[in-house]
Structure 1
Amino acid sequence: MTLLFGFKEKDRHYRERKGVYGVIVNKEKKVLTVKHSGLYFLPGGGVEGGETNEQCLQREMLEEIGCEVISRTYIGHAKRYFYSRKGEPLLSDGYFYKTWISERVQEPLEDDHEICWLNVEEAKQLLFHDHHFWAVKHVLN
């Protein structure tokens, strides 16, 4: 079952973007997020070419936080209708995994991304996508 977030306007075409995201929680129950252009997201991103979800998650973790995925557990699938900052109607098609990572093995490749650890209330307020917070709640419950 796929959960839906946001509101789909009738007769509006939404460009769909499939992404894979990791929910990483430390011993203090803080969630690892990535801040980009002033917005907070779970680490992860768009599937490229013929990548599997697992390959995408591994690549995105290396690019954004410089760590390898040690193991993962599938959480679920959720979508969110929203508008980009440029006003484009988008549908974020997210696949979420509880993720365990290695120590840093390289410097992150995306130097415009800032790694931030947030407590649950901060994550609720700051995560840009509702379905990202849904995944966080699922892991913490």
Structure 2
Amino acid sequence: MIEEFGEKINGIDYQIRIGVYAVIFNPKKDKVMTVRNRNGHHFLPGGGIEYDESQIKCLEREILEETGYKVLIHCYIGNAMRYFKSTKDEPLISDGYFYLANITVKVQEAIEPDHYLEWINIENAKQSLIHEHHYWAVKEGLNKVF
């Protein structure tokens, strides 16, 4: 079952953006890794699938680009979507696939120019994460922690 967030307005043609994201906790499981953009918005690390790329390969590439870390993916959390309007007032559906993962070793500096790795407290995640389905994935990930 796909979890849905946001308000779907009938008659609007939404553009779908498929993305793959990681839920990565610190060792105490009281913080989650996020990527903060220049506007101060927090997202789970990850992003859009490129042509002919698997979800796992996408996640490995995106985390490396955004954080400089290699990642070990443990299990699939689930699929959730959010209806929203972009900053340019475009109607979008963020169709997210979420995985529980750990970072392993830093192999390079992040190459995304306006993305900054930031660990946020779990109790602040609902307010900090810009997308509701990212917060849903954090809650679901806590239930699957190994």
Q: TM-score range by the shorter chain?
A: over 0.9
Shift of 1:71: 2.8
Map residues 80-91 of structure 1 onto 2, 5 A cutoff: 80-91=82-93
Aligned-residue sequence identity (percent) comes to: 53
Secondary structure of the residue aligned to 1:76 is strand
Contact 2:73 / 2:99 at 8 angstroms: preserved in 1? no
Shift of 1:114: 1.0
Map residues 1-141 of structure 1 onto 2, 5 A cutoff: 1-28=1-28, 29-36=30-37, 37-141=39-143
The C-alpha deviation readout for 1:15-70, integer Å capped at 9, x for no partner, is: 00000000000123200000013211000001111111001001001000111122
Secondary structure of the residue aligned to 1:58 is helix
Shift of 1:120: 1.4
The C-alpha deviation readout for 1:105-133, integer Å capped at 9, x for no partner, is: 11111131111111112111010100000
- Residue 110 of structure 1 aligns with an amino acid whose one-letter code is E
Structure 1 segments unaligned to the other structure (5+ residues): none
CA RMSD for the aligned pairs? 0.9
Structure 2: distance between partners of 1:80 and 1:48 = 20
Structure 2 segments unaligned to the other structure (5+ residues): none
Structure 1: distance between partners of 2:73 and 2:127 = 28
Task: Decide which moves more: 99-108 or 84-93.
Answer: 99-108
- Residue 35 of structure 2 aligns with an amino acid whose one-letter code is V
Structure 2: distance between partners of 1:51 and 1:45 = 12
Pairs aligned (count): 141
Secondary structure of the residue aligned to 1:117 is strand
Following TM superposition, where does structure 1 have runs of at least 4 consecutive aligned residues deviating by more than 4 angstroms?
A: none
Secondary structure of the residue aligned to 2:99 is strand
- Residue 119 of structure 2 aligns with an amino acid whose one-letter code is W
